[in-house]
Amino acid sequence: MPSFFDRVAHLYDRVARPPDPAPLLEMLAAAPGSRILDLGGGTGRVGQVLTGRQVAVCDLSGPMARRARDKGLLACQGRAEALPFASGAFDGVLVVDAFHHFAGQEAAAREMLRVVRPGGRVVVVEPDIRHPVVRLVAVGERLLGLTSRMRPAEEMEGLFRAAGGRVVRVQKLERASVGVVVTDGT
């Protein structure tokens, strides 16, 4: 049975605009030529704005990953909890507005830290569940049948520490979002 994201893949880019890449690249500390994994990257709306970097998109939804490939991005279908990449394959891992959709967030955190090179960064940008509008969005997602789990920044910090990461910083962003920057703990 197709998932919600399988069904909306053809409409997704009309609704979700690409973000400003500057804060994402700064948090990733991503030099030109860096290998970046856009995890839960869907149609590649984020990956496409990270110009000058080698971006791979990985998403659970096949139709979303196909849309990313149509944009010329390297894309695959895969689970965040069991990534199909070698350890240390990326200079950075970026998750924008998708972590709350991962079924096994603890396993996903471990996998992100596994596939980032020593000293590389994992950046997770999520809606700030403490914001009233975001709480309404969370209710809306439940009504749509999604099993999203939005966590406050402190919980995300603890989750990544438990996975062996070292939290570099937590940063409030525009649009009621928060960014958590993590290294592999080395």
81 has pLDDT over 60: yes
Work out the angle at residue 113's Cα, subtended by the Cα atoms of residues 107 and 119, and round it to the nearest 5 degrees.
Answer: 170
**Residue 13: is its pLDDT beyond 80?**
no
Residue 159 pLDDT > 70: yes
Q: What is the pTM assigned to this prediction? A: 0.86
Would you place residue 8 in the very low, low, confident or very high pLDDT band (cuts 50, 70, 90)? low
Say if residue 132 is exposed, middle or buried (CB neighbours under 10 Å; 0-12, 13-18, 19+): exposed
What does the mean pLDDT of the chain come to? 86
Q: How many Å apart are CA 122 and CA 124, to the nearest integer?
A: 7
Q: How far is CA 93 from the centre of its chain?
A: 8
The residue-averaged pLDDT of 114-119 equals 96
| Predicted local distance difference test score (pLDDT) of residue 150 | 79
Nearest to 105 by CA among 86, 85, 122, 130: 122
User: What are φ and ψ of residue 178, in 5° steps?
Assistant: -135, 140
Confidence of residue 36 (pLDDT cuts 50, 70, 90): very high
Element (H, E) at 96: strand 90-96
Q: pLDDT value at position 20?
A: 85
